[in-house]
Chains A and B, each alone.
Chain A
Amino acid sequence: MFEALSSKLNGVFDRLRRRGALSEADVNEALREVRVALLEADVALPVVKDLTTKVRERAVGVEVLKSVSPAQQVIKIVNDALVEALGGGEGDSGARGLDLNAPSPVPILMVGLQGSGKTTTSGKIALRLKNREKKKVLLASLDVHRPAAQLQLETLAKQVGVASLPIVAGETPLQIAARAMDLGRRELFDVVVLDTAGRLAIDEALMDEVAQVKAATRPHETLLVVDAMTGQDAVNTARAFQDKVGVSGIVMTRIDGDARGGAALSMRAVTGAPIKLLGAGEKLDALEDFHPDRIAGRILGM
């Protein structure tokens, strides 16, 4: 795919056969191909527009070098803009992963659409915190909607070797959250992961419910879990979760697939929240750190 973009841009510049500096017309021609490449990678349209505007500003007037083709020069500018938009490049603080810098027990709230990978990621986070940071982790499922959701998390807790909140039938998510935090305090847990039911961004009642859970537990991290295969709707989802719940970080799952993952860019652009972790498989150890340059390359098809 990266090959595809390179060869398309080469085609553009061959046709133009320009020397000297890149004119606005040259750049616009090239940006048409860039736009298509980004859209094919599922970057959301408004985000594509912002990005191409930025690239236009930087590319127009750039001297064409002897050593590199103009296509490669434009690709580098696009790539750099992408890396920056993903939180890398110059302004990058280098801080990755979860922020646990708060009084124990530190609540982490998992939110997102149905089936995005929240419960599995909860298990993965528990495993990572237990092994790497020697934390005492409690897993609690607030999902009273999906059949066997609480049992799913309890099973994962056993596989990981961490505690899970005993299941009590008939409680509301808010009651479960209160019980989880209470147990977390009494038994001196370092971290309490609150897994929630999947919900649609347009489901007012369920969005209110999770906002209430958030207000009651004051999580130090609120992680929006999104599927790497997500299409243009990523902007709507991200905006709704940011507005109604507030998001401190993004976890993108299923990067073990072959989706280009443009949703990462859309989500990051809309929420301003960093991408903190990547899900790279169904197994509990398949959790990776996020590297802006790698995802940028993936979006461009490298």
Chain B
Amino acid sequence: FRKRRLDEEALEELEETLIAADLGVAAARRIVEGFRKTRFGKEVTDEEVKAALAEEIAAILAPVAAPMPLEPARAPHVVLVVGVNGTGKTTTIAKLGQQYREGGLRCAFVAGDTFRAAAVEQLQIWGDRTGARVHAPAKEGADAAGLAFDALTAARADGTQVLLVDTAGRLHNKSALMEELRKVIRVIKRVEPEAPHSVLLVLDATTGQNALQQVKVFKEMVDVTGLAVTKLDGSAKGGVVVALAQEFGLPVHFVGVGEKAGDLRPFEARDYARGLVGLA
């Protein structure tokens, strides 16, 4: 590899690499500034620069890389899955169901998206494939909160260990829809005051800077406990997660890397950081 001096031009290129990976201008600048202080003027290869940059980013991500705490003894541990439209909530529930079942746990799904066409049937198919019981509404357009109440009551009776509650996609700036989500939580708490034990916000890696707004509002409105980032098998890098880590410090539990039930991985700071700067 050819060595080159880490000069202003090289630093600018680095900043652009980070911006192109969706870190946003502010986070990209902060990282490059740190880099300037320690390494400016040194002779380095491209690979060395990238590796060092990845390390810097991994250090930012490491504190938020954490598995989702799970207490099956709660029978059930309730996970409420939320997010804007089309990010991958329903598919992520299927993936979690698969993973927990492989770990020997008894899972059930709640088809809480009573709004979108065939959302219930979508989850039902995933339930069949992953061996999870699916609590579905009795009729179309039923109340999601009522369904969650019934499902949790049934889950307590039948020994379900993990109850994964799907919700309809909703944009964070729609207050009526966000209020509806709060109602689901209130009703769940009537059955079990400690529930939901996890509120998982699902983000799409293709999303740019708007993810900051999504996390801010969902966190305020429904006490998000952690994040999952989907669609990382694509060309999008998901760099906004770095800005999210710096701004909110919410744990990132999972990454989605495909459309199949097996395509869920733990979030690993180092791997993620290397992906961002274009190192395999």
For window 114-145 of chain B, which residues contact chain A by CB distance below 8 Å?
Answer: 115-119, 121-122, 124-126, 129
CA A149 to CA B22, docked complex, whole Å: 30
Flag whether A34 is at the interface (Cβ < 8 A): no
Does B86 contact A115, Cβ atoms closer than 8 Å?
A: yes
Interface centre among B121, B172, B211 (most CB of A within 10 A): B121
CB distance from B57 to the nearest CB of A (A): 16
Chain A residue with Cβ nearest B117: A155
CA A291 to CA B85, docked complex, whole Å: 24
Interface size class of A (residues with CB under 8 A): 35 or more
CB distance from B174 to the nearest CB of A (A): 8
Flag whether B19 is at the interface (Cβ < 8 A): yes
Residue from the list B117, B210, B235 in contact with A257, Cβ < 8 A: B210
Does B208 contact A229, Cβ atoms closer than 8 Å?
A: yes
Taking A148-B122, A257-B172, A262-B208 as known contacts, 6 extra A-B pairs with beta carbons closer than 8 A to each other, sorted by chain A number, are A39-B24, A152-B119, A159-B117, A200-B231, A254-B85, A257-B171
Does B206 contact A113, Cβ atoms closer than 8 Å?
A: yes
Does A36 contact B125, Cβ atoms closer than 8 Å?
A: no
A115-B86, A229-B84, A232-B208 given; A147·B234 CB < 8 A: no
For window 224-280 of chain B, which residues contact chain A by CB distance below 8 Å?
Answer: 231, 233-237, 239-240, 259
Does A40 contact B237, Cβ atoms closer than 8 Å?
A: no
* Complex contacts, A154 vs chain B, CB 8 Å: 118
Chain B residue with Cβ nearest A233: B236
Does A152 contact B22, Cβ atoms closer than 8 Å?
A: no
CB distance from B268 to the nearest CB of A (A): 21
* Complex contacts, B234 vs chain A, CB 8 Å: 113, 200-202, 233
A200-B235, A232-B22, A258-B173 given; A115·B118 CB < 8 A: no
Residue from the list B122, B169, B240 in contact with A231, Cβ < 8 A: B240
Does B121 contact A231, Cβ atoms closer than 8 Å?
A: no
Does B259 contact A114, Cβ atoms closer than 8 Å?
A: yes
Ranked 7 nearest A-B pairs via Cβ: A231-B208, A115-B86, A42-B208, A152-B118, A147-B125, A233-B236, A155-B117
CA A41 to CA B204, docked complex, whole Å: 17
Does A230 contact B208, Cβ atoms closer than 8 Å?
A: yes
* Complex contacts, A145 vs chain B, CB 8 Å: 259
Instruction: Mark contacts of B21-48 with chain A using CB atoms, 8 A cut-off: 1 yes-contact digit, 0 otherwise.
Output: 1101100000000000000000000000
Flag whether A117 is at the interface (Cβ < 8 A): yes
Does A42 contact B235, Cβ atoms closer than 8 Å?
A: no
* Complex contacts, A229 vs chain B, CB 8 Å: 84, 204, 206-208, 210-211
A231-B22, A256-B171 given; A42·B233 CB < 8 A: no
Does B206 contact A230, Cβ atoms closer than 8 Å?
A: yes
Does A36 contact B20, Cβ atoms closer than 8 Å?
A: no
Does B206 contact A254, Cβ atoms closer than 8 Å?
A: no
Does A231 contact B125, Cβ atoms closer than 8 Å?
A: no
Flag whether B16 is at the interface (Cβ < 8 A): yes
Flag whether A237 is at the interface (Cβ < 8 A): yes
Flag whether A55 is at the interface (Cβ < 8 A): no
Flag whether A181 is at the interface (Cβ < 8 A): no
Flag whether B87 is at the interface (Cβ < 8 A): yes
A115-B204, A231-B209 given; A39·B19 CB < 8 A: yes
Residue from the list A153, A156, A233 in contact with B237, Cβ < 8 A: A233
Chain A residue with Cβ nearest B174: A256
Flag whether B175 is at the interface (Cβ < 8 A): no
Flag whether A247 is at the interface (Cβ < 8 A): no
A256-B171, A257-B171, A258-B210 given; A237·B117 CB < 8 A: no
Flag whether B153 is at the interface (Cβ < 8 A): no
Does B207 contact A148, Cβ atoms closer than 8 Å?
A: no
Does A282 contact B19, Cβ atoms closer than 8 Å?
A: no
Flag whether A111 is at the interface (Cβ < 8 A): no
CA A263 to CA B238, docked complex, whole Å: 15
A231-B208, A257-B210 given; A151·B85 CB < 8 A: no
Residue from the list A148, A152, A200, A259 in contact with B208, Cβ < 8 A: A259
* Complex contacts, B20 vs chain A, CB 8 Å: 44-45, 232
* Complex contacts, A248 vs chain B, CB 8 Å: none
Flag whether B88 is at the interface (Cβ < 8 A): yes
CA A231 to CA B241, docked complex, whole Å: 12
Mind listing 16 A-B residue pairs with CB under 8 Å? Answer: A113-B206, A114-B259, A119-B117, A148-B118, A148-B119, A151-B118, A200-B235, A202-B234, A229-B84, A230-B207, A231-B236, A233-B234, A236-B236, A257-B171, A257-B173, A258-B171
